[in-house]
Amino acid sequence: NPTETAALRFKAPQEGQTVITDLIKGQIVFENNVLDDLIILRSNGYATYNFSVVVDDGLMEISHVIRGDDHVNNTPRQVPLFSALGFPVPQFAHLPMILGSDKTRLSKRHGATSVLAYRDMGYLPEALVNYLVRLGWSHGDQEIFSMSEMVEHFDFKHVQASAAVFNPEKLLWLNAHYIRHSDPTHVAGALRPFLHQAGYGDEAIARIPGGAEALVP
């Protein structure tokens, strides 16, 4: 009936297995007989998540899908869609989840959880990036990495498969290191919005002997 709307499903394979070679977790095998016929278009005309991301990744020619391992179970539903639509199946890398100090999934009750929140708390971008890269990944005993060193040394082979625990004290230590060792002009630039927030305009800051740089430890 053309006046009635219905959801559109993708007929999932029911025989054999879907095998994924994950760049972090290694080979993962899914039995196809447990897959349901996935809804790809709802009755209201809106595409579902699993269908949308496959089309988007395919059209953008994405070669690597890097995401949290809470998406592992979406993978056997997405791989047949890539093939059915004629797209190359990308490589998958499922990163370990980040847990709070109580070993439960990181959430607002553990404190700030957004990058912008940490910026507003005074953490330098390079300190936060350094800390997040080191969560679940290592390069020997090295703790401090410049951006160029991260690009040079990062390898999925050294990403652990188990969940990482967020340690705010370690992040604070890293931030203190970057404040002490960064160029004072760079730190002063990051400090300026906090001075504005405290009611100090540019004219008031200019009257400080040495300017904002003088406030950098």
The pLDDT, as a whole number, for residue 200 is 73
Q: Is the pLDDT of residue 207 over 70?
A: no
User: What percentage of the chain has pLDDT greater than the value 90?
Assistant: 56
Whether 164 and 110 map to the same domain: the answer is yes
The arithmetic mean of pLDDT across residues 77-100, rounded, is 94
The arithmetic mean of pLDDT across residues 85-90, rounded, is 97
The pLDDT, as a whole number, for residue 3 is 62
The pLDDT, as a whole number, for residue 100 is 86
Residue 104 lies in a domain: yes
Whether 90 and 104 map to the same domain: the answer is no
Backbone phi, then psi, for 14, in 5-degree steps?
-115, -5
20 within 8 A of 79, measured Cβ to Cβ: yes
Pairwise CA distance, residues 48 & 42, whole Å: 7
Q: What angle do CA 73, 78, 84 make, to 5 degrees?
A: 150
Whether 66 and 114 map to the same domain: the answer is no
Whether 125 and 157 map to the same domain: the answer is yes
Going by pLDDT thresholds of 50, 70 and 90, the confidence category of residue 23 is: very high
Going by pLDDT thresholds of 50, 70 and 90, the confidence category of residue 16 is: very high
The arithmetic mean of pLDDT across residues 128-137, rounded, is 92
Q: Which residues pair with 68 in a beta bridge?
A: 95
Choose from 43-47, 79-83, 208-212 the range with maximum mean pLDDT: 79-83
Whether 82 and 150 map to the same domain: the answer is no
The pLDDT, as a whole number, for residue 72 is 95
Whether 82 and 133 map to the same domain: the answer is no
- Per residue in 32-69, pLDDT (tens digit) is 999 999 999 999 889 999 999 999 999 999 999 999 99
* Catalytic-role residue among 11, 25, 103, 108: 108
The pLDDT, as a whole number, for residue 1 is 54
Residue 74 lies in a domain: yes
Q: Give Cβ neighbours of residue 16 (< 8 Å, ≥ 6 apart).
A: 32
24 within 8 A of 161, measured Cβ to Cβ: yes
Decide if 25 is catalytic.
no
Residue 197 lies in a domain: no
Q: Which residues pair with 47 in a beta bridge?
A: 41
Pairwise CA distance, residues 39 & 77, whole Å: 10
Pairwise CA distance, residues 64 & 62, whole Å: 6
Going by pLDDT thresholds of 50, 70 and 90, the confidence category of residue 88 is: very high
Kindly state the tokens that stand for 76.
Answer: 């056997």
Question: Is the whole-model pTM more than 0.75?
Answer: yes
Q: Give Cβ neighbours of residue 60 (< 8 Å, ≥ 6 apart).
A: none
Whether 116 and 137 map to the same domain: the answer is yes
208 within 8 A of 215, measured Cβ to Cβ: yes
Whether 152 and 110 map to the same domain: the answer is yes
123 within 8 A of 179, measured Cβ to Cβ: no
- Cβ–Cβ contacts within 10 Å for residue 62, how many? 16
Domain of 159?
98-182
Of the candidates 38, 69, 95, which is a domain's last residue?
95
Residue 45 belongs to domain with CATH number: 3.40.50.620
Q: Domain count of the chain? A: 2
Q: Is the pLDDT of residue 199 over 70?
A: yes
Residue 124 belongs to domain with CATH number: 1.10.1160.10
